[in-house]
Structure 1
Amino acid sequence: MGRALALDVRIILPDICPERAMHRLPASLPLSLHSAEQVRALDAQLIAAGTPGFELMQRAAHAAWRVLRRKWPEAGEITVLAGRGNNAGDGYLIAALALRAGWRVRVLAVGDAAALVGDAAQACMEARSAGGAIESWSECAPLSGVLVDALLGTGLAGDVREPYAQAIRLINRSGLPVLAVDIPSGLHAETGARLGVAVRADLTVTFIALKLGLFTGLGPELCGELQFDDLQGDERLLAHAPSLAQRLDPANLPRLAARSPVAHKGQFGHVLVVGGDLGMGGAALLCADSALRAGAGLVSLATRAEHVTAALVRRPEVMCAAVNSANQLIALIERADVCVVGPGLGQGAWARSVLSAVAGLDLPQVWDADALNLLAAGQVSAPLQGVLTPHPGEAARLLGIDSAALQADRPAAARALAARFGLVVVLKGAGSLVAAPDGRLVLCDRGHPAMAGAGLGDVLAGLIGALLAQGMEAFEAASLAVWLHARAGEMLAAQGRGLAAGDLPCAIRLLLEELCPCVN
């Protein structure tokens, strides 16, 4: 298809080509996301239930070897870099399988092979019995073929130490394809933070249960394509295992109810968008347009007088009102069911005035952009109910920390914000998180790098507002909105860079109808 197709054609493109996605995922993955400790507990339960540890290790090696051959069928050669724990054991067994298949195999022991114990030691013996020569790691050792990262598993907590750090740096500089076993070495299994240095894999095969760190922070970037194998674990154990979060997926998304044949606009809420200081009217209009396209019965826009004419020309369905002070908002507020505040708001006197008029209202609100910056600066109190939608910089200011510290543990930051303000929080970014004050946490693993552009956050804020107006609870509205927004962006971004925020509302509308039909 040509790139010049009109929007109404592009928004019905089929699923994006998997080779173009940032974090390529198989069609079906478990919904639960776990910590390293939770996965180790599951591993122990599977062993206690009758599956020997070495058998689980063999299953992991076979799973990784199958995926490696599918991905690089003509490679014919691997270099296994092995550490000193069970992750190394997986690597030694992969080496044995490759040797028996007639591939050229080199095994570099970064961890002392003589110090291995238990299942890992048995795996090392298996590699030797298959004809493998195990060499001690040297920074001068040549790397060739597909590199198998079996250095460090999920138990790593502090920064990677030598000689592992040097091995990881050389892997990343090699330019060779890399398969990470269970998790890229140096990636924190729970937070997705890079622990000093981390392997940048082309393909990661993870086992037993999904680790949260694979989906947030730097996880999506470092994992490459992600494959999962439950190692034939007991489905009952896996289904009832404790988890940290849930992945958003059509199987567990909240739904809007179908509409009655005699429905009217007054039944689907009135969204009031407040924003658009001088020179920033577009942000507020994008937000209002999004709320309209997502099904709000009525949408009003309170903005600077200078933007009214342009807004009416662009979207006459939105009731646009010029507002110069907080007093002029009162009549609009009285008719509203939901307020969305912040897109294009600015931080000047006008912004502080209108925000103070909205802050104390006892109705659902969505705060975005400069509403959050004014909140962080102590210029206003948080709303009584609703949703905050910070990007990492705004979230860091709200918590009084720097962005690097926030990005080092995004799940903890999202939960901390929800607890501090007693509101649902959407922490935007790769692997967007939705946190509730009661501790619930969901993650969206959809999206595309082409969505890194101006105005997309304004569209998300308006979408959340529309779902609230149609009767959804805050956590459900935020969860559904985040998935719809990311999935729509993913569809449109299949054509590459240049995605405009204004393209999203129509695509979201189609996705919403597919997921939640307007009529039965």
Structure 2
Amino acid sequence: MSTLPHELYTAEQTRELERIVTEQHNISSAKLMSRAGAAALGAIKSYWPQAERILVVCGTGNNGGDGFELARQAITEEYRVSIFQVGDEKEMSEETLAAREAIIASGVEIHRFEEKLPTTDVIVDALLGIGLSREVSGDYALAVNAINEHTKRIPVLALDIPSGIHANTGRALGTAVHATITLSFLGLNKGLFTGEGPNYCGQVCFDSLKVPSAIYKAFTPIARRVSLENDAAGLAPRERTGHKGLYGHLFIIGGDHGMPGAARVAAEAGARVGSGLTSIATRSAHGPILNLARPELMCYGVESASELEELLRPANALSVGPGLGQSEWAVALFQKAIETNLPMVVDADALNLLSKNPQYHDNWVLTPHPGEAARLLGCTSEEIQADRFAAVYELQRRYGGVVVLKGSGTLISNGEAPTRLSTWGNPGMGSGGMGDVLAGVIGGLLAQHFPIMDAACVGVTLHGMAADKAAELDGERGTLAMDLMPHLRRLANLIY
């Protein structure tokens, strides 16, 4: 198995990769199928070395052919193999049918699917693959459900993608297999990592099937996973003559009555990733107290937009929205921030205000969660989650700048390919204040003169990685926003 690539593809692009391999590099589909079977058997040996019994559930497409080939090779190595088939062999491709007939010729029986599957050590899901575009139904749905009945006791290896998951959107089409390991071939599909995909895929692994690396130069991938090693050139060690004036002045605008903590969290996050100076503009009642625990922050009580104008003169980046509310005070401060034309992060209530008065700018980063994205696009959060890639494209088209669509498999788009996708982060981030951390982190990078796309990509990466470090120490449940701060500092200095 290869190192997990950063490039992500649509199902259509993956099929095109296979066409290029077979037509231009003289590697037949049957040979690719044989290599896929070998890779899958290798995965079983690696992850479940004590396994003696393998149960393979095959469909009629090439995914089923990979399963038949795995079964054939496992039989030759004296595994006890049970094979169940869903669908009519008359629908099989020439290669899949040949793989099936090779098993029969060896004297091993292929069973028609039954609603109950026998006990085994490992189940292999080779039912549907990446071509699925409609809801799973009939015997295929029964087979998926039968596999899932065993997942609490028996590990499941899904070939290409868990059956039932849409390869382009990550949406579960009615029902889907809950895999322990998903082994992807040729090209990683974007749906593995966003939408509902991460909930079904388990650990994603990859095998290129030994195809020539030149095939990947045929076209631009639709998306790319973010990582510090690829995106964090701006986090290089600082020059020895550096001083705070070189690292910018971040201004946080937010903290309406009852919500000062959000602005405070965002401000510390910006400071922890390196902004030279960090200030908060908030309600007058909050100004004197917000920096008691973090005196390095400068806090100003502001009751009108005119007061804000003078304060913002030394700022070179803004994060607007944490705890901002939607009052007349909030509207006035948000509009004044926009008029500065400074690079800014627009988060939380500032996004809700933007949805009521849509504007387009090139120098802001919008950071909506699915609910906020739905308000910005005038739809439901369910529609956003059904196709997150389509949603982030449309948000960027309407509002400009860079859009960070938060959630499992956070997406980052500036309207150009490839869209960036983050595989960092965990469910422990489902607590108040996490979005404020991200707004502060991206703002802190903007203050340090990162281009807005770089600030968004590096900010999302630092944020997710810091949450993962916090969860490694103490578990996911109970993680608080401020738990990320020490990890942000270490990661921003690349010292882990």
Structure 1: distance between partners of 2:246 and 2:122: 59
What CA deviation, in whole Å up to 9, does each residue of 1:206-226 have, x standing for no partner?
A: 101111111111111111111
What CA deviation, in whole Å up to 9, does each residue of 1:79-123 have, x standing for no partner?
A: 211110111101111111222222222211111135423110110
The corresponding residue for 1:211 is: 189
User: Compared with structure 1, are the counterparts of its residues 334 and 276 closer, same or farther at alpha carbon in structure 2 (3 Å cutoff)?
Assistant: same
Structure 2: distance between partners of 1:167 and 1:143: 15
The alignment-based identity, stated in percent, is 43
Greater mean alpha carbon deviation, residues 171-180 or residues 274-283: 171-180
The corresponding residue for 2:147 is: 171
The corresponding residue for 1:499 is: 479
- Aligned AA for 2:114? S
Q: Secondary structure at the match of 1:251?
A: helix
The corresponding residue for 1:3 is: none
User: Compared with structure 1, are the counterparts of its residues 418 and 515 closer, same or farther at alpha carbon in structure 2 (3 Å cutoff)?
Assistant: farther
Q: Tell me, yes or no, if the aligned pair for 1:359 and 1:382 is still in contact at 8 Å.
A: no
The corresponding residue for 1:306 is: 285
Match of 1:188 among 148, 157, 166: 166
Greater mean alpha carbon deviation, residues 253-262 or residues 332-341: 253-262
Q: Tell me, yes or no, if the aligned pair for 1:488 and 1:508 is still in contact at 8 Å.
A: yes
- Aligned AA for 2:7? S
The corresponding residue for 2:7 is: 32
Structure 1: unaligned runs, 5 residues or longer: 1-25
- Superposed displacement of residue 488, structure 1: 1.0
User: Compared with structure 1, are the counterparts of its residues 173 and 140 closer, same or farther at alpha carbon in structure 2 (3 Å cutoff)?
Assistant: closer
The corresponding residue for 1:94 is: 70
Q: Tell me, yes or no, if the aligned pair for 1:109 and 1:137 is still in contact at 8 Å.
A: yes
The corresponding residue for 1:387 is: 365
Q: Tell me, yes or no, if the aligned pair for 1:189 and 1:214 is still in contact at 8 Å.
A: yes
Structure 2: distance between partners of 1:238 and 1:130: 37
2:257 equivalent to 1:278: yes
The corresponding residue for 1:254 is: 232
Q: Tell me, yes or no, if the aligned pair for 1:359 and 1:381 is still in contact at 8 Å.
A: no
The corresponding residue for 1:17 is: none
- Superposed displacement of residue 182, structure 1: 0.9
The corresponding residue for 2:396 is: 418
What CA deviation, in whole Å up to 9, does each residue of 1:404-438 have, x standing for no partner?
A: 11111111111111111111011111111110033
What is the TM-score when the length of structure 2 is the normalising length?
0.95
- Aligned AA for 2:461? W
Q: Secondary structure at the match of 2:494?
A: helix
User: Compared with structure 1, are the counterparts of its residues 225 and 130 closer, same or farther at alpha carbon in structure 2 (3 Å cutoff)?
Assistant: farther
The corresponding residue for 1:12 is: none
2:321 equivalent to 1:346: no
Structure 2: unaligned runs, 5 residues or longer: none
- Superposed displacement of residue 502, structure 1: 1.0
Query: Following superposition, which runs of at least 4 residues in structure 1 exceed 4 angstroms of deviation?
Result: none
Q: Tell me, yes or no, if the aligned pair for 1:83 and 1:111 is still in contact at 8 Å.
A: yes
The corresponding residue for 1:9 is: none
Q: Tell me, yes or no, if the aligned pair for 2:85 and 2:112 is still in contact at 8 Å.
A: yes
Q: Secondary structure at the match of 2:465?
A: helix
2:176 equivalent to 1:198: yes
Greater mean alpha carbon deviation, residues 72-81 or residues 476-485: 72-81
Q: Tell me, yes or no, if the aligned pair for 1:272 and 1:332 is still in contact at 8 Å.
A: no
How large is the Cα RMSD of the aligned pairs? Answer: 1.8
Structure 2: distance between partners of 1:212 and 1:508: 27
Structure 1: distance between partners of 2:31 and 2:247: 56
Q: Tell me, yes or no, if the aligned pair for 2:117 and 2:146 is still in contact at 8 Å.
A: no
The corresponding residue for 1:329 is: 308
Aligned residue pairs total: 490
2:62 equivalent to 1:62: no
Structure 2: distance between partners of 1:117 and 1:76: 30
Q: Secondary structure at the match of 1:335?
A: coil
Match of 1:509 among 478, 489, 493: 489
Greater mean alpha carbon deviation, residues 424-433 or residues 381-390: 381-390
- Superposed displacement of residue 186, structure 1: 0.8
- Superposed displacement of residue 61, structure 1: 0.4
Structure 2: distance between partners of 1:115 and 1:338: 59
2:183 equivalent to 1:234: no
What CA deviation, in whole Å up to 9, does each residue of 1:339-375 have, x standing for no partner?
A: 1100011112221221122122211010100100111
Structure 2: distance between partners of 1:328 and 1:117: 72
User: Compared with structure 1, are the counterparts of its residues 264 and 149 closer, same or farther at alpha carbon in structure 2 (3 Å cutoff)?
Assistant: same
Structure 2: distance between partners of 1:150 and 1:29: 21
Q: Tell me, yes or no, if the aligned pair for 2:396 and 2:414 is still in contact at 8 Å.
A: yes
The corresponding residue for 1:398 is: 376
What CA deviation, in whole Å up to 9, does each residue of 1:470-499 have, x standing for no partner?
A: 111100110011111111111111120222
Structure 2: distance between partners of 1:462 and 1:510: 16
Q: Tell me, yes or no, if the aligned pair for 1:372 and 1:398 is still in contact at 8 Å.
A: yes
Structure 2: distance between partners of 1:487 and 1:437: 25
Structure 2: distance between partners of 1:381 and 1:110: 52
Structure 2: distance between partners of 1:114 and 1:384: 55
